[in-house]
Structures are given as structure tokens and as C-alpha cells.
Structure 1
Amino acid sequence: MPAFQTKTFRRATTASSSLGEKIGEVYRARLPRHPFLLFGLPFIMIIVAGSFALTPAAALRYERYDRKVKQLSQDEAMDLGLKGSDGEEGIKRNSRRRIIGDDREEYYRLMAKDLDNWEQKRVQRFKGEPDGKL
């Protein structure tokens, strides 16, 4: 008697063979003949459906982040100088320059500056911070 049998092993059909096993057997038999239809197309459909399903979740994430950034308590606003002592909102005087007018006026104002005469100045460094000088 040879060491291995020549007959291939097949499980005996029993009552425990479920519908899922039968469908899986048919799927595996037809997969080599129609690989795109049975594997590629469902894969692409899952990717596209997942994209549509995750879009609202991503939008919610960014909306929550925006709300978190925009919320400032009154104390923080006072510390940052965004509210005056009387509680009125606005930019603290002399802290920032407001742009008055439209874009064209601002463009011409910047173009009127003398850009040929300038001097390069080094930024003051903190103690212990390397300044890049050799």
C-alpha cells in the first residue's frame, strides 16, 4: 500500500453543510473565470461606498475643530486684548494695523514703499539658542 492515497479528499455531504458553504463553493469555482466581476467590482464598490460614508464624519471633525478654535472665554479675550475694558469687542488700539479701503488701495500703498533701500537686521535670539553664526 502506498504512503499516500491517490484519491482526493472530499468532505462527505452532510446536513451540516450550510447555504453559506455552498455559495462559497460556487464563488470559488467561478472566480478564475470572472475575476473582475466577482472580485474587482465588489472591491471598487466598497471603496466608493466607504468614501461616501466617511465624508460626513470628516466634515463633522473639521466643524468641531473650528468651533473649538473660535470659542474664547471672556478672560482669554481680555488677556489677548480682543475686548476692551468696557466689554466691547474690537482690536486693541495700536496693537494691529487695520486695513482701510479695498484691495486696490492697499496694493498701491504697499507699492509706494521704497523697496530698494533696506537693511537686513538679525532677529534677537533667546539665551542659549544658537544664532547660526560661525
Structure 2
Amino acid sequence: MGIRFFGRKSTRFGVPFILLVVGGSFGLREFAQLRYDFRTRRTISKEDAEKMGIKMKDAQEVTLESEYEKIAQIDTSNWENVRGPRPWEEGNKLYEEAVERVKKMETGK
């Protein structure tokens, strides 16, 4: 009886397939759970952002209507595509300011 049972195609191929599908769903659940367990999500206060050199606006200042008005005033029919400087290029003021800010933060700690 045992040789006949294990000799069937449905047993030889079906049982491992079912085990793979069921076991895979449990394994996938564990891997997907890692995404939510180790998510680093924290909010930064306005004071902390100002210490880092970032100027945050109040929530009341930024609305959908105010941003639409800013964009509506921009002339989008006549514009020129200008490539910004790369961090490794000389004369990049923004990159130099960012490096100085990081140095100040490291020495301030």
C-alpha cells in the first residue's frame, strides 16, 4: 500500500507543491513583517530642524491654494533647462554649505 501511495504522480508532485505554497506563505509573511518592524519613522520638531539649518514653515502658511497661486504666476511657456552643479564639481556653494553644517552639528554634540 505504501509503495502505491508514494508512487502516484499526485502524491509525488502534489504534496511537495502544496507544502511549498503553504510554507512559502508563512515565510513570506515573516519577511514582509520585517518591513514594518524596523521602519524608522520619527518626526522632527521645528526647533530641531532649525538647529540643522532647515527652515520649516508653519502648517498654516502652506495651503494648496497658496501653492497653486505661486505656480500659476510662473511662466511655463518660456523656460531654459539648466543643469545644476554636481557635488564633486568645484564652486558648488550648496555642497560646501552642507558640509559646513554637518561639521558644526558634529562639533556641537
| Length-normalised TM-score, structure 2 | 0.49
User: Rg larger in 1 or in 2?
Assistant: 1
More helix by share: 2
Structure number with higher relative contact order (C-alpha < 8 Å, ≥ 6 residues apart): 2
| Length-normalised TM-score, structure 1 | 0.43
